[in-house]
Amino acid sequence: MAKQITLAQHVRLLLTWLDAANPRTDHEIAMRIMKIGEEFGEVVSAYIGVTGQNPRKGVSATHAELTGELCDVIIAAMSALATVAGGPEDAEKILSTHIAARYPRLLRLLDAA
């Protein structure tokens, strides 16, 4: 069985590789943030392909391709967050705090429904 890799482990290795290839200049940081948009575009393309919305292409993508692209958005966003936050562990703390701050509102919305 393959070893489970956490998002933080993957992002740490990814940032090591990115930092070696492209040092963290203001431009590089902007590129890492814009990568989220590029990956989102790939999600849109996959969704169009899954639903066959392009009549010229018909159904041209699979559910697995769509979910893979969604995962790429998460990785790109976490990598950008880790780049500006100081590292993967800091990014995880920020994300956890962000989620915790919004969770009570979500519970209230569900109670009101």
Q: What is the pTM of this model?
A: 0.91
Domain ranges of the chain: 7-112
d(CA 96, CA 85): 13
Contacts of 15 by beta carbon, 8 Å cutoff, 6+ apart = 79, 82, 83, 87, 88
CA distances from 60 to 42, 45, 51, 64, 106 (A): 13, 10, 8, 12, 36
Write the pLDDT tens digit of every residue in 69-83: 999 999 999 999 999
The pLDDT assigned to 113 comes to 84
pLDDT at 82: 98
Report pLDDT digits (tens) over 17-53: 999 999 999 999 999 999 999 999 999 999 999 999 9
